[in-house]
Amino acid sequence: MSWIVLVLSGVLEAVWATALGKSEGFTRIGPSITFAVALVLSMGGLAFAMRDLPIGTSYAVWVGIGAVLTVAYAMATGQEPVSAIRILLVGMIVAGVVGLKLTH
């Protein structure tokens, strides 16, 4: 159960990071509210997962999922350039997250 909550919390990290960028310094209400709700839920899920999982593994997986999804969204929407090297590097983050799960 902790791994499922951790993965969902990582997804929510990508949501709040993206919403933060779209809030334009908290001047846009919709993205600002999305940021706040996703942040609270993401942190709460991370805290829940850390009750059963090591802190280093939990944090690395949470950040890794959030980073990969945030970059993938930015690439898919044209906000960041897409290149083979960027895809390779994001793939390395994914491999690290999977490796942490497999060695737990």
Domain that holds residue 37: 2-102
pTM: 0.89
Mean pLDDT for the chain overall = 95
Q: How far, in Å, CA of 94 to CA of 104, rounded?
A: 16
* Residues 6 and 61 sit within 8 Å (Cβ to Cβ): yes
Domains in the chain, number: 1
Please state, in angstroms and as integers, the Cα–Cα distance from residue 40 to each residue in 15, 49, 51, 76, 78, following that order: 11, 14, 17, 26, 28
* Residues 44 and 35 sit within 8 Å (Cβ to Cβ): no
Q: How far, in Å, CA of 29 to CA of 54, rounded?
A: 36
Q: For residue range 10-39, list pLDDT tens digits in order.
A: 999 999 999 999 999 999 999 999 999 999
Q: For residue range 30-88, list pLDDT tens digits in order.
A: 999 999 999 999 999 999 999 999 999 999 999 999 999 999 999 999 999 999 999 99
